Structure 1
Amino acid sequence: MLMRAKDSTLLVIDLQERLLPAIDGGAAVIEQASWLVRVAQRLQVPVIATEQYPKGLGYTEASLHELLPGEGLREKIHFSATAGAGLFDLPGGERQQFIVCGTETHVCVLQTVLGLLTAGREVFVVDEAVGSRRPRDKALGLARMEGAGAVIVSREMVAFEWLERAGTELFREISRGFIR
């Protein structure tokens, strides 16, 4: 199955200021997630972001927060963004495909992905845009998600599948601004 821009929502999970310093490669995860958000916005793919207990973990990292639409930000207390009310009611929540990035891979990302799969959604997890405190936990989380039916992808796989074809002005713009 291909990722299609018209069917996709980008879901950014818990990339919060107090948690990120503890994440292995946290700065790179923010960089990759920001790249995905910018590409999604250029291709008119809705973006939803979550914050896990922001009183304790802080708010979304500032440079990423600047990119996010206010109506797509959701606070949560459950580890899964699908628990409780609200995720599917946000703009983009009705779409069939969810492209997922964020932290921690083996906790909130994993539980959200399992919830999305249970809800019948197609789920794609962007390998370089998820992170955990320990690399082994990230690897185990990715393996478990893949075993449950999620597809593990790279950011460029997302961009090229959303674009569908070369030779358009949009392709040239994304290629110049994001791929090179």
Structure 2
Amino acid sequence: MLMTRASSVLLIIDVQERLAPLIHDGPRVAANCAWLAGVAARVGVPVVVTEHFPAKIGYTLEPVKVAAAGAEFVTKECFSAAADGCLEPTAVNGRRQVVVCGTEAHVCVQQTALDLRWAGKEVFVVADASGSRDPANRDLAFARMRHHGIEIVSREMVAFEWLQRGGTELFREVNREFIR
């Protein structure tokens, strides 16, 4: 199945101030989450950002927050944002496809993705925009999610599927601003 702009929502999970420095290759993960938020905004895909106990773990990293301007921000206590109920009033509820990224891949990303998949959503986890403290845990999470029917994709796969075709003004804008 392909990701489409009309069916998708981008869900950024817990890219937070006190957790991010502990994530393996954390700056790249955070930058890729911000990149995805920028592409989503440019092509008209809604963005939802979760924060797990922000008073203790910190708030969303500033570059992600800036890129996700206009996004819906929600606070959660459960590892799975779907179990927490905080996603119900957001764009996640109204879209068939959920593109997920963030941290940690083997905890909050995985539990949210699995719950969304079991709820009947088409779920895509962006590998180069998801991380864990230990890369082995991240890799195990990707394998487990794939086993349960979740697509593991790259940020460029997301962008090009949302764009659908080249030669349009939108493609030229996204290509100029994000891909080159």
5+ long unaligned stretches in structure 1: none
For 1:27-69, what per-residue CA distance to the aligned partner results, in whole angstroms no more than 9, with x for missing partners?
0001100000000000010000000111111110112112334
Q: Structure 1 residues 71, 174: CA separation in 2 closer, same or farther (over 3 Å shift)?
A: closer
2:133 maps to what in 1? 133
CA distance in 2, matches of 1:94, 1:88: 9
Q: CA deviation at 1:92?
A: 4.3
* 2:49 partner letter: A
Q: Give distance in 1, aligned partners of 2:92 and 2:140.
A: 29
The answer (yes or no) to whether the contact 2:124–2:152 under 8 Å persists in 1 is yes
SS of the residue aligned with 2:133?
coil
Conserved? CA contact 2:51–2:74, under 8 Å: yes
Query: Is the partner of 1:24 in helix, strand or coil?
Result: coil
Matching residue of 1:43: 43
Moved more, 144-153 or 68-77: 68-77
Counterpart for residue 88 of structure 1: 88
- Conserved 8 A contact 2:15-2:103: yes
Match of 2:3 in 1: 3
Contact kept in structure 1, 2:75 and 2:86, CA below 8 Å: no
Secondary structure class of the residue paired with 1:83: helix
Cα offset for 1:133?
0.2
Residue 157 of structure 1 corresponds to 157
Contact residue 52 and residue 77 of structure 2 kept, 8 A: yes
1:108: which partner in 2?
108
Counterpart contact for 1:13–1:103, Cα < 8 Å: yes
Give the partner amino acid of 2:9: T
Q: % of aligned pairs identical? A: 52
Q: Please give the TM-score of this superposition, normalised by the length of structure 1.
A: 0.97
Q: Relative to structure 2, which stretch is displaced further, 55-64 or 100-109?
A: 55-64
1:121 match: 121
**Residues 1:56 and 2:46 aligned together:** no
Normalising by structure 2, we get a TM-score of 0.97
**Number of residue pairs the alignment of both structures matches:** 180
Taking a change above 3 Å as real, the CA distance of residues 64 and 71 of structure 1, as seen in their structure-2 partners, is: closer
SS at match of 2:106: helix
Q: What pairs with 1:59-70 in structure 2 (closer than 5 Å)?
A: 59-69=59-69
How large is the Cα RMSD of the aligned pairs?
A: 1.1
Match of 1:143 in 2: 143
Give the Å deviation of 1:71.
Answer: 5.9
Instruction: For 1:145 and 1:102, locate their aligned partners in 2 and report how far apart those are by CA, in whole Å.
Output: 15
Cα displacement (A) at 1:91: 3.1
Query: 5-14 or 53-62, which moves further after superposition?
Result: 53-62
